[in-house]
Every structure is written in structure tokens, then in C-alpha cells.
Amino acid sequence: MQEMLNNQTQERFIYQFDDNDEITMATEDLQVFYGDSLAMSNADLTFKKNTITALIGPSGSGKSTYLRSLNRMNDEVATVKGKILYQGVDINQPGIDVYEVRRRIGMVFQRPNPFAKSIYDNITFALKRRGIRDKKKLDEVVETTLKEAAVWDQVKDVLHKSALELSGGQAQRVCIARALAVRPDVLLLDEPASALDPVSTVQLEQTLRELKKDYTIIIVTHNMQQAARLSDYTVFFNLGQAIEYNKTRKIFTRPKIKLTEDYVSGNFG
């Protein structure tokens, strides 16, 4: 009852794009339940093509739950109601090919999770499973994606070395290359720099800036400076709801909602 009340009275500001902005993804009336418990609601958000959007908010505010819903990664653990629109099509309905959804909407996790295989095999794994055997084609994908992920120069001479022997920063960029190998449109990243040192973090951010020319990027981060440096738009989540969505500059200089201001200025709680 208390939660219902809060839903109705919570002040929020959600940025609306113009009709001529090209929209890649959006959610409408999204509700995510773990068992009977409503973990996420009130997040009617729209993501513009070739932008980086940061999802920020305190621990447990629903950022990862929201992110994982976008490519149906929550299917096994949660009940997800509402619309998840990708290129205008609701992908949260029966009959949708979930594997195809995850191909187009790729995900990179918090901890680098390379397979216990060579760098080359990590990148080509999904392609080989889809029956692509042409060595020239596979070589090309390995080179292109490792270049896109800005790790080619460091690994080009050791492509057949185990990916488990890479540094955290290199492994995370190989995981990005692996996600890119199936040619997604959207890249979801759940705190991808949290296990990286400051130098690798800066390199990763540079990589993401380059990638946004070709991809739409949505990133969960706990690091406020990272959100401010990297993203074009920022969403502030609290208690499982999107409270404020605006241009990043505005969120960090002139937030419209008091709760956002308290959070970004460190006076939260």
C-alpha cells in the first residue's frame, strides 16, 4: 500500500525525444517482479540511436533489473510485464526469438567473463555455433571486433593464447569484442569497469565513446564521474523507479528533482 502511494506521489522528470530523433529502444509500463515482489516499475524510458545512456542510483534501486530486462536476460528469474520496444517492435511477448533478441542487444557484465578458450575462440564462438566456418570470414571478424574494442594491438600476436591469461582490462575488452562479433545494435553494460584499474577504466571509456558511432549504449555505473564523463543522457533510479532522465549535463548541474540533486551531490539518505 505504501509503495502504491509512493508511486502516485513521486515527483519525476523523464526526458522526451523529438519525433525526428531516431529511437532504438524504449520501455512502456514495465514491471519486474521477483516472485510476488515488485522490484521495478515506473520506467517509461526511450533510448536514442548512437548515444550513451548511464543508469545511476543507489544499490538495490533496480538499475541491473531494468538493464537485464532490455534483452530478456531476466526471463529465467523474474516476471516481466509491459512493453520492451526494439526498433518499434515489442520484444516482450510470446513468439519472439529470445536468442535473436540477445544477438541484437548484446550484454557485457560486471566482471570480465571470458570463456576458458583462446582469444580467437572467444570471439568466434557464437559465429561457429551458427555454422560459420569460413576461416577468412572468422579471421576478419576477430580482427575487426578486437580493433573496435581497442585491444587488437595488444593481443594480435597471441590470439591463440587462453583468454584467461589476459589482464582484467584486456579481458573486458575481449568480452566487448565477443559481444560485437554477432553484430548487435545495442550494447548493454552492467558496471563494466568496476573490476578495472583507473588506466583500464579510462581506456574502456574511450572505447565506448568510439563505439557509440555504431551502437546504442546503455551502461549501469556506480561511478558518478564516469557517468558525467561518458554519457549523453543519464537516468537516476531510486526504489525501483526511474526518477529523473535528462541530458547528463543537466542531471549533474541542474537536476529537476530534489532526490536526484541529493544523490548526485552525495547528500542522499
Ligand X SMILES: Nc1ncnc2c1ncn2[C@@H]1O[C@H](COP(=O)(O)OP(=O)(O)OP(=O)(O)O)[C@@H](O)[C@H]1O
Least distance between ligand X and beta carbon 62 (Å): 4
User: Which of 11, 77, 113, 253 is the binder for ligand X (CB under 6 A)?
Assistant: 77
Q: How many CA atoms lie within 13 A of 120 on its CB side?
A: 12
Least distance between ligand X and beta carbon 12 (Å): 17
Total of residues contacting ligand X (CB under 6 A):
11
Q: Which is nearer to ligand X, 39 or 182 (CB)?
A: 39
User: Which of 26, 41, 62, 238 is the binder for ligand X (CB under 6 A)?
Assistant: 62
198-211 and 168-180 helices, crossing angle to 10°: 20
Query: Which residues, at least 6 apart from 119, have a Cβ–Cβ distance to it below 8 Å?
Result: 142, 146, 155, 158, 159, 160, 161, 162, 163, 166, 174
Q: Is residue 77 within 8 Å of residue 257, measured between CB atoms?
A: no
Please give the Cα distance from 109 to 137 (Å, whole number): 27
Q: Which is nearer to ligand X, 63 or 103 (CB)?
A: 63
Q: Is 193 helix (H, G, I), strand (E, B) or coil?
A: coil
Task: Say whether residue 92 binds ligand X (CB under 6 A).
Answer: no
Q: Which is nearer to ligand X, 59 or 267 (CB)?
A: 59
Least distance between ligand X and beta carbon 228 (Å): 17
Task: Say whether residue 65 binds ligand X (CB under 6 A).
Answer: yes
Closest CA to 171 of 208, 122, 128, 220: 122
Q: What is the CA radius of gyration of the chain?
A: 19
Q: Which is nearer to ligand X, 53 or 203 (CB)?
A: 53
Considering only 17-25, 43-51, 63-71, 157-165, which stretch makes contact with ligand X by CB under 6 A? 63-71
Q: Is residue 55 within 8 Å of residue 253, measured between CB atoms?
A: no
Q: Is 85 helix (H, G, I), strand (E, B) or coil?
A: strand
Residues 147-166 vs ligand X: string with x where CB under 6 A? --------------------
Query: Which residues, at least 6 apart from 227, have a Cβ–Cβ distance to it below 8 Å?
Result: 54, 56, 221, 234, 248, 251, 252
Q: Which is nearer to ligand X, 59 or 93 (CB)?
A: 59
Q: Which is nearer to ligand X, 12 or 63 (CB)?
A: 63
Task: Say whether residue 60 binds ligand X (CB under 6 A).
Answer: yes
User: Which of 9, 59, 93, 267 is the binder for ligand X (CB under 6 A)?
Assistant: 59
Tell me what percent of the chain is helix, strand and coil, each rounded to the nearest 5.
40, 25, 40
Residues 18-57 vs ligand X: string with x where CB under 6 A? ----------------x----x-----------------x
Q: Which is nearer to ligand X, 41 or 64 (CB)?
A: 64
By the criterion CB under 6 A, which residues form the site for ligand X?
34, 39, 57, 59-65, 77
